[in-house]
Amino acid sequence: MGSRYRTKIKEPSLFFVTSTLKDWLCLFTSVEMRDPLAGLLFNLFPVKAEALMGYVLMPSHVHMMIGCKSGGVQLAEFMRTFKSLSARQLYPGKGSIWMAGYDDLVIKTEKQFGTKLNYIHENPVRAGLVKRVEDWKWSSAEFWMEDKPHKVLTKSWEWLGS
C-alpha cells in the first residue's frame, strides 16, 4: 500500500495512512494512553497539515486520513513529528515505539474515500473492542455518523484549493 515515492507528490493530496507500533505491541490499551495520543494528534493540525478527515486510534496502530497541501513531503514531516512526539511524551526513555516507516495511499476518488473511511471506523468493531462504530471514542465515526462537531476534524475539501 505504501508509496516509495510519496515525496515526489507535490500537489495537495489526501493520504490514508497506517502506522503500527513495534512488534504490534498494544501500548494504547487504556484511556490514560489514548486520550493524550488523541490530544497530540489534534494539536498537530493545522500546524503540520491542513486537514484531518478521519482517524482511529487502536491499541497497536493508528489509521488516519490526512490532507496535505504540499503533498508527500509534508506528510513525511507530519508523521515524523507525530511518531517522535508520541514516543517521547507517552513513553519517555523507551526510545522509538513505532515500526519504521508507515503505509500510505493517496485517495483519488469519492468511492475510495468512503471505503477507507468505513474501514477506519469499522476497525474497533472488527477487533471486538465495541459493538457499534460510534461507541469507540477514539475515532472520527461519531463526527461523521452523528454529525457531532469537532475542533479539528473536517468534512470540507476547501483545503485542496489555493
Q: Are 65 and 52 in contact (CB under 8 A)?
A: yes
Mean pLDDT on 26-36: 96
Instruction: Give the angle 135-110-55 at the CA atoms, nearest 5°.
Output: 30
Domains located in the chain, CATH noted: 6-108 (3.30.70.1290)
Share of the chain above pLDDT 90, in %: 87
Question: What tens digit of pLDDT does each residue of 32-83 get?
Answer: 999 999 999 999 998 999 999 999 999 999 999 999 999 999 999 999 999 9
Model confidence at 147, in pLDDT bands (50, 70, 90)?
confident
Model confidence at 162, in pLDDT bands (50, 70, 90)?
low
